[in-house]
Amino acid sequence: MEIQSAFTSGVQGFQKAQGDATQASADIAANLAVSPEDFGIGQENNTDSSDNANTTEKKASSAETPDLNKASVDLKVAEFQAKASANVIQTADETLGTLLDVRA
């Protein structure tokens, strides 16, 4: 059984936090993206069946967008994970320094 060093654990945790933060940021950006059609720009004021199709399309696309609340929480969790991983790396550095001082 292999035991990972504290440095390795800290770096892996930090990399995971970075990936999670990137994904959460992309989800937030996707949720907040606004198209010109949302403001009625470029649309004519006719009420034919194409308007109903556009409304159905918007409802379908909004169901596919990530939840803004979940993405915000995920981003905050990634922040805490990064801070904890940084503390692990700092503690490993201090411990290694102490061990080197004892051996010297």
Give the residue extent of every domain in the chain. 6-103
pLDDT (0 to 100) of residue 10: 94
Backbone angles phi, psi at 94, to 5 degrees: -65, -40
Which distant-in-sequence residues (6+ apart) come within 8 Å of 16 by Cβ? 81
- Nearest-CA neighbor of 28 among 62, 64, 69, 63? 69
pLDDT (0 to 100) of residue 98: 75
What sections of 1-67 are H helices per DSSP?
A: 6-32, 49-64
pLDDT tens, residue by residue, 6-32:
899 999 999 999 999 999 999 999 888
pLDDT tens, residue by residue, 42-100:
655 555 555 555 555 555 555 566 789 999 999 999 999 999 999 999 998 888 877 66
pLDDT (0 to 100) of residue 41: 64
pLDDT (0 to 100) of residue 34: 65
